[in-house]
C-alpha cells in the first residue's frame, strides 16, 4: 500500500486510490466538479489541481494515483492561483442568474467561488448565450448557459444506466449538453443527473421553484417504494409553510450506502412521496354507519376495535397486514393477534400488473418490508381470508393500507367479500376504495412522519427517521396497535418505536442482538433467515453495476 504525504499528513492508501480520495482520508478537501467516485475519470473541469513534489506543473488530482513517497501540497500559492484562473474560466459565459436559479444555496460554483474566486471579473465581452429552461424529459430541466461541461450527466447515462441519451455537442464555447434530436431523457434513473450536476444546469422539474433549499430540513430515511430499501434523505419544508402549496415534503435525495444503492435512487422512488401531502390523506378517526361518515375520537375508535376483537370468535376475524408497515408495527400487530389467538392473517395482495424490475436497483416487489412481514409470521393466505368472508365465516376484517379491490383478485369476488362483512376496519395513511367501505377508519402516520425499520429483500434491517409531524390526528401503526392492546387489558411496556423494536429483537430469533444503535445509518443484515418463514424474494445479491 503506497504511503504518501498530503499537506504534511502521512497517509497510507490502497493501491489505485486517486489523490482526491487519498486527501479525504486526512481531512483535506480538494475542490472538483467533474470527478465523481461512482463514475469514470473525465479530467474535464481541471479544478482539482495539486502540486506534487518533483513535478514541474500542477497536476489534476482525480487522474493521479497515490504512489509511494509522493509529497502532495494542495494549498500552495501556485495551486491557489490556478484554481482562481480555472474558476474564472468556468464563469466566462456563466449567466450569474443565482437569484433565480434553483441550484442557489447548493451550487458548487457558488461554494467554490466563495473560497477560490477572483472577485474582480475581467471579462468585458458579451457572453455566449445558450438555451435555457429546456425540458430534457419528464423530470429534468436543462439550462445550457449554467453548464460547465463537467460531463457527469453524460457519464452517468453511459456508465450507470447504460442508456447513453446525453452528449456534449458542438465545440469550444458553443459546446453544450444535449439529447440526440427527437429523443428524451426518460430512463428510470434520470433524476440522478440532477443530484450529480454540480451547478444549476440540470434542475428537477418536480422541485423547481418550490422552496429555496436553505429553508429545507433533512432526515435520514429509507425509500418505501420497493424491496431494495434505497437509503434516502427526506427534505422537508417546515420553515416556510406558505411555499410549495403547503406540501411539507419537498423532495427525496439518495443517501450513499455502499451495500444497497450506492449514490443512486430510481425515479419511481424519488417522486413517489406525493401521497404524504395528498388530499386523500386520512387525518382523523372516522365511523361509517348506514352509509353516513362521521368523525370519531381515538378513544371511540380504539374501543370499537378492541370490542370487536373481544366480541367475535378468533376464527371470525381476519387481518390483512401490510408489507408497507414497519417491523415495529408488524410486531405490535402480532402481539394484538396473539392476545385473542387470531390465525387468519396475511399481508400479500398480489398486484394487478407485475412490478417492473432491473439489475440496477429496482425490485418487482413494490413493498419495503415483505421480508420483515414474512419473518414475523404474517404470511398467510389472503385469498382464503376473502373466501371465508364471502362464506360469512369471517365476520370482522381489519385491513392495513391495502386497497383489496385494486389487486389481482377478481374485483367482483373481493367486492362480494367486503359486502358480506358485518365489520370492516381500515388503518392506513390514505383513503382508497377499501377504506371507503370501512365501518371504522383509523388514520396512520406516513413513513416520513414517524420512526421505524424495514427489512429489505436481502434481510438488511434499515432505520427511517421522522422528518415531519403526523398529519392531523394520524398515529404510527405501532401506537394504534399498542392502544388496542391496552384496551384488551394487555400490559404494554413499549411507548416508542425503539422500545417495540427492542421487544421484537428479544422475541424473534432472526432479529436477535439487533438494536437501533447497531443498525445505525447504513443498516444491519439479519443473522440467518428464520426456519419456516420463506424469504419474500431470492436472497441472492444482485450486483450493482
Partner 1 sequence: MSGRDRTDGATRASSRPPTDHAGLEVPAPTVAFSAEQLGEVRRLQGLYPDRRAALLPVLHLAQETFGYISLEVERYVAGLFDLTPAHVHEVVTFYTMFFRAPKGRHVVAVCHNLSCHLAGAPAIVAHLQGRLGIHVGETTADGRVTLQSVECLCACEHAPMMQVDDRYEFGLTPEKVDRILEGLR
Q: Site residues (CB under 8 A) for partner 1?
A: 40-42, 151, 154-155, 158-159, 162-171, 179-184, 186-187, 359, 545
Cell of 482: 399498542
Sign of CA dihedral 265, 266, 270, 274: negative
Closest to partner 1 by CB, 162 or 238: 162
Nearest approach in angstroms of CB 157 to partner 1 is 8
Cell of 492: 404494554
Cβ pair 223, 254 in contact under 8 A: no
Nearest approach in angstroms of CB 351 to partner 1 is 22
Nearest approach in angstroms of CB 176 to partner 1 is 9
Closest to partner 1 by CB, 110 or 175: 175
Sign of CA dihedral 323, 328, 329, 335: positive
Cβ pair 497, 490 in contact under 8 A: no
Cell of 545: 453495476
Closest to partner 1 by CB, 167 or 422: 167
Q: Kindly report the length of the chain.
A: 545
Residue with cell 425499520: 453
Comparing CA positions, the residue from 34, 82, 35, 88 lying closest to residue 58 is 82
Nearest approach in angstroms of CB 155 to partner 1 is 7
Closest to partner 1 by CB, 155 or 437: 155
How would you list the strands of the sheet with 216-222, edge to edge? 216-222, 231-237, 249-254
Nearest approach in angstroms of CB 454 to partner 1 is 27
List CB contacts of 84: < 8 A, sequence separation 6 or more: 116, 117, 118
- Looking from the CA of 320 toward its CB, the CA atoms found within 13 Å total 30
Nearest approach in angstroms of CB 323 to partner 1 is 29
Beta strand pairing call for 202-204 and 3-6: unpaired
Closest to partner 1 by CB, 128 or 168: 168
Closest to partner 1 by CB, 159 or 300: 159
Closest to partner 1 by CB, 124 or 171: 171
Nearest approach in angstroms of CB 20 to partner 1 is 17
- Integer CA distances (angstroms), 76 to 7, 58, 88, 332, 440, in order: 9, 10, 18, 60, 70
Closest to partner 1 by CB, 179 or 386: 179
Closest to partner 1 by CB, 141 or 444: 141
Closest to partner 1 by CB, 134 or 406: 134
Nearest approach in angstroms of CB 149 to partner 1 is 12
Closest to partner 1 by CB, 165 or 328: 165
Closest to partner 1 by CB, 99 or 543: 543
Cβ pair 442, 425 in contact under 8 A: yes
Measured CA to CA, the distance from residue 144 to residue 169 in angstroms comes to 11
Closest to partner 1 by CB, 167 or 509: 167
Measured CA to CA, the distance from residue 361 to residue 253 in angstroms comes to 15
- Pinpoint the alpha helices (H) of 290-376: 298-311, 327-338, 370-375
Measured CA to CA, the distance from residue 368 to residue 360 in angstroms comes to 17
Could you give the maximum distance between any two Cα atoms of the chain, in Å? 88
Nearest approach in angstroms of CB 360 to partner 1 is 9
Nearest approach in angstroms of CB 178 to partner 1 is 8
Looking at residue 28, the DSSP 8-state letter turns out to be P
Nearest approach in angstroms of CB 506 to partner 1 is 43
Rounded to 5 degrees, φ, ψ at 87 are: -60, -40
Measured CA to CA, the distance from residue 97 to residue 214 in angstroms comes to 17
Nearest approach in angstroms of CB 159 to partner 1 is 5
Q: What angle do CA 348, 403, 248 make, to 5 degrees?
A: 105
Cell of 209: 421553484
SS (H, E, C) 376-422: CCCCCCHHHHHHHHHCCCCCEEEEECCCHHHECCCHHHHHHHHHHCC
Measured CA to CA, the distance from residue 277 to residue 248 in angstroms comes to 7
Measured CA to CA, the distance from residue 327 to residue 367 in angstroms comes to 13
Nearest approach in angstroms of CB 144 to partner 1 is 13
Measured CA to CA, the distance from residue 333 to residue 321 in angstroms comes to 8
Looking at residue 405, the DSSP 8-state letter turns out to be G
Nearest approach in angstroms of CB 164 to partner 1 is 3
Closest to partner 1 by CB, 154 or 504: 154
Amino acid at each position: 500500500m503506497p504511503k504518501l504525504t498530503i499537506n504534511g499528513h502521512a497517509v497510507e492508501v490502497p493501491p489505485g486510490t486517486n489523490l482526491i480520495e487519498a486527501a479525504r482520508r486526512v481531512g483535506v478537501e480538494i475542490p472538483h466538479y467533474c470527478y465523481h467516485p461512482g463514475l469514470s475519470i473525465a479530467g474535464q473541469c481541471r479544478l482539482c489541481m495539486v502540486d506534487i513534489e518533483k513535478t514541474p506543473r500542477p497536476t489534476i488530482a482525480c487522474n493521479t494515483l497515490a504512489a509511494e513517497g509522493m509529497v502532495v501540497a494542495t494549498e500552495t500559492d501556485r495551486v491557489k492561483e490556478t484554481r482562481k484562473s480555472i474558476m474564472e474560466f468556468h464563469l466566462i459565459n456563466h449567466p450569474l442568474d443565482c437569484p433565480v436559479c434553483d441550484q442557489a444555496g447548493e451550487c458548487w460554483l457558488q461554494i467554490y467561488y466563495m473560497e477560490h474566486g477572483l472577485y474582480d471579473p475581467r471579462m468585458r465581452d458579451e457572453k455566449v448565450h445558450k438555451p435555457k429552461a429546456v425540458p430534457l424529459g419528464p423530470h429534468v430541466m436543462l439550462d445550457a448557459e449554467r453548464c460547465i461541461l463537467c460531463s457527469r450527466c453524460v457519464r452517468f447515462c453511459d456508465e450507470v444506466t447504460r442508456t447513453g441519451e446525453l452528449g456534449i455537442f458542438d465545440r469550444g464555447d458553443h459546446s453544450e449538453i444535449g439529447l440526440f434530436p427527437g429523443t428524451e431523457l426518460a430512463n428510470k434513473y434520470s433524476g440522478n443527473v440532477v443530484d450529480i450536476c454540480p451547478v444549476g444546469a440540470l434542475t428537477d422539474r418536480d422541485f423547481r421553484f418550490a422552496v429555496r433549499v436553505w429553508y429545507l430540513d433533512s432526515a435520514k430515511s429509507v425509500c418505501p417504494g420497493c424491496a431494495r430499501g434505497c437509503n434516502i434523505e427526506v427534505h422537508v419544508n417546515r420553515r416556510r409553510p406558505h411555499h410549495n402549496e403547503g406540501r411539507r415534503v419537498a423532495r427525496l435525495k439518495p443517501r450513499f450506502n455502499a451495500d444497497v444503492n450506492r449514490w443512486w435512487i430510481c425515479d419511481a422512488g424519488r417522486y413517489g412521496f406525493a401521497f404524504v401531502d395528498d388530499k386523500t390523506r386520512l387525518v382523523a378517526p372516522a365511523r361509517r354507519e348506514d352509509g353516513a361518515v362521521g368523525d370519531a375520537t381515538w378513544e371511540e375508535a380504539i374501543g370499537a376495535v378492541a370490542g370487536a376483537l373481544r366480541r367475535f370468535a378468533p376464527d371470525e376475524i381476519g387481518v390483512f397486514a401490510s408489507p408497507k408497515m414497519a417491523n415495529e408495527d408488524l410486531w405490535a400487530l402480532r402481539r394484538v393477534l396473539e392476545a385473542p389467538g387470531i390465525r387468519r392473517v396475511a399481508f400479500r395482495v398480489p398486484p394487478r400488473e407485475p412490478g417492473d424490475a432491473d439489475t440496477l436497483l429496482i425490485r418487482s416487489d413494490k413493498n419495503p418490508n415483505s421480508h420483515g412481514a414474512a419473518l414475523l409470521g404474517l404470511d398467510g393466505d389472503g385469498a382464503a381470508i376473502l373466501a371465508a368472508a364471502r362464506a360469512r365465516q369471517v365476520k370482522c376484517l381489519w385491513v392495513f393500507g391495502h386497497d383489496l379491490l385494486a389487486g389481482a383478485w377478481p374485483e367482483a369476488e373481493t367486492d362480494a367479500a367486503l359486502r358480506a362483512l358485518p365489520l370492516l376496519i381500515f388503518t392506513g395513511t390514505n383513503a382508497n376504495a377499501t377504506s371507503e367501505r370501512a365501518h371504522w377508519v383509523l388514520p396512520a402516520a406516513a413513513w416520513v412522519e414517524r420512526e421505524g425499520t424495514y427489512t429489505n429483500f436481502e434481510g438488511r434491517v434499515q432505520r427511517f427517521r421522522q422528518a415531519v409531524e403526523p398529519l392531523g390526528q394520524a398515529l404510527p401503526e405501532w401506537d394504534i396497535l399498542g392502544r388496542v392492546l391496552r384496551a384488551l387489558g394487555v400490559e404494554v411496556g413499549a411507548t416508542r418505536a425503539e422500545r417495540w423494536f427492542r421487544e421484537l429483537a428479544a422475541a424473534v430469533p432472526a432479529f436477535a442482538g439487533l438494536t437501533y444503535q447497531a443498525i445505525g445509518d447504513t443498516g444491519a443484515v439479519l443473522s440467518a433467515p428464520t426456519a419456516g418463514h420463506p424469504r419474500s424474494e431470492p436472497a441472492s445479491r444482485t450486483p450493482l453495476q
